Structures are given as structure tokens and as C-alpha cells.
Structure 1
Amino acid sequence: MHHVDNRPLVRTVNLDIELESHVAPQTLSDKVAFAFVKLLRFFADNLFAKRYGHRAVVLETVAAVPGMVGGLWQHLSALRRMRDDEGWIRTLLDEAENERMHLMTFIKIAEPNWFERLLIIAVQLVFYNFYFFLYLVAPRTAHRVVGYFEEEAVISYTAYLAEVDAGRHENVPAPQIAIDYWQLPEDARLRDVIIAVRADEAEHRDANHGFVDTLDQRKAA
């Protein structure tokens, strides 16, 4: 008899994490990763402007890809080399799952229109294949891309929070999926959701920059 684990997903909001953190590009790999993420930022800013809810829906579909790709490659690598993965697989798959929960949350807040749904399909198709091959040939650069991507995510969610606090975005009630997932109060609002998501992104930022440090240490050893 098969057992399906249907326990609800829960996560604790890390309110103590450093938000204003940036790893300055040093190597060519860093500079390529940084330039690529800034290019993505340019397109996102021009496409969505201050429609932060819709921006979140589209970008979270992208953000959920790297963890799954990285987790798969680390899994295969651990099998192939017959070695322990040192916790990388679980961390990366948890990241992918967490980003998917961000998407599920923001779909309740900003329902994507038909154009955004088509954009999501196109972007996911292109980005998945791009990131898959990037991780294959340059995992260090791949993790740095995610680190910088998450740095930008923290900046974007901080700006989103400022818009809500200024009254330019309605501080709507938090979706029930967010209340359950982050264990928020039943009267939680959008503001609480943004703070929780921003903290998650900061954790992913630090984890992926940390993976780069580990890869550098392995290479130097």
C-alpha cells in the first residue's frame, strides 16, 4: 500500500536575516552572472513597472526552476561519484518548493492575465533549458546567477512593501495558503506576506552565494 504524505507545508519567517547584503562581482564568472541578472531586471522593470503582484507571479515561475535543476544535478552527481551530497540536494529542492509556494500565494493576490500566462510558458521553456546547460558546464556561475537574482528579489519586495505602506497598493487580506504556510496570524495582510517572502529570498541568496564559496574552496583544495 502506497502512503502519500499530505501533511501541510509550513515554514517559519526568518525576521533576523540581513536584508541589505551584496556580493561584489570579483571573477569573470561573477561579472557574467551579475550582468545577466541586471539584464533580466531591466526587462522586468520595463514590462511590469510597479505592478509588483504581477511581476511576482511571472518571476516566481522563473525562480522555482534553479533549485529543481540544481537538485537534480547534485543528485545525479552524488550517484555517479558515489559520495555524500553534503546537504545540497535537500537545500536546493526546498528552495524550489519554497519558490513554488510564493507563486501559489501571489496567484491569489494578482491573477495573471492571458498575456502573462503565455509569457510564463515561454520564459519557463527558455530559462529551464538555459539554466540546465549552464549548471552542466558552469555550476559556479549558475549558483552566482541565483544569488544575484535573489538579491534583486529582496530589492523588489522591499519596493513592493514601500508601495503598500504608502497606500499605493491595497493591503489586502493575506491568502489562506500564505497564512497556513508561514503560520501567520489569521488577520494577516499582504504586508505580512511580502515580509515573509522577502525573508525567504534573502535565505536563498545567502545559500547560493555560499554554494559558490564552497565550490571555490573545493577547487583550491
Structure 2
Amino acid sequence: MNSILRKSKSAMPNHHTGIIYKSQLSTFNIAFMGFGSLAMIGFGVKFLIGTQESGINWFIIFPLIIIFIGGLSLSNTLALCSVAITKEFLILNYPFLRRTIRIPWKSITDAGMTFVTTKSSGSDHAFRIGREIRLFADGKHYRFTTFTIQDPERLLLELKKRLDSSLKKKMKDEYQKSKSDFWKSENDSRRWMKKIVLPICLIILILLWVLNK
């Protein structure tokens, strides 16, 4: 009887065995995104109350936009996932949603990868860059970014080992194009600032100085 029980236990699948790679979410980045989202929502609500007390009803659109962006950022934070890789599955673990998805490698029929950044405006001098990975399997789309994953290069290496060569080429081409488009727009905005914005600001300052003299 004991031998039968031992055999049945050994036959039970253990999802923790055979893990080749397992990512960890960055606590700092998650905290930063979460607190930033809540702060934006709080500021938007306070702004909204202030505009209504002053009777400027048409101004309501601005605090509503701030609240919407904060809520969108918070929902994206809650949807963050860590990634684990075995020989049979790509495992996505969503800790805030208490959900784990196992995607068989053979079921992945399409994939994409684009260049993403934390840059939000032309005045951002320090920003992070990363990749958004999209997968299509069994009629469903899955996506995750490398911003909040520790050691993302190891993750990319393990993915390339297991995806079809045509999918790897498609991901590489899409990433290179999106990266090139981003830096092109950055260079264009810098030239625009130097050739148009800065001269106009300089002319305005000179006029103000002449008029006040």
C-alpha cells in the first residue's frame, strides 16, 4: 500500500520542476508605478473638486483626463506579470490578479516585439527603454513588457531559443523599426526646438527687454 502511495505521489505533476528561467518583478518599479498612479488620481480628484467649487464647469475635462490617465496606469500596474520558462510552457504569473497562465510553446502562432520607453514628453532627459512582447496562442493575445522584469536579457535569450525562426525574425524587424522611428522623432523634435522654439523665445525675451527699457 505504501509503495502504491509513493508511486502515485511521484506520478503527480510538479509545476515547479523543470523551470529553466524564472523572472522576478522589480519591487521598486512596481512601487513607483503604483504610488505614481494613486498620486495622479488623488491630484485629479482634488483638482476636480476645486474646479467645481469655483464654478468653472467647462474646466472639468482637465481633472477628468488626469484621473483617467492615473486609473489607466494603475490598471496596467495591477496587470503586471512575471515570466517563467520550462521546456513545455511559457508561464505568465499575475500576482495582483492571482492568476497563472501556461502557454504551450507549440500553440504560439504569432509574436511581435516593439520598442517602448518611459519618456512622456520632450523635456524628459532621463528615461528608461525596454521592449513590449506580444504573443498569440489558442485564439488569445498575451503581452508583457521588460520594464519591471529583472534580467530581461536572459528572458529574451530563452524566448529566442524556443520560438520559430520566422517569428524571431518578425519580432526583430518590428523592434528595429519601432526603435528607429522613436529616435528619428527624437532627433526631429530636437531640431525643431533648436530652429524654431528657442529662436522665438529669444526674440520674445529681447522684445520684453527693449519694451521695459
TM-score where L is the length of structure 1: 0.30
RCO greater where, 1 or 2, for CA within 8 Å and sep 6 or more? 1
Considering fraction of residues, name the structure with more strand.
2
Question: Greater Rg, structure 1 or structure 2?
Answer: 2
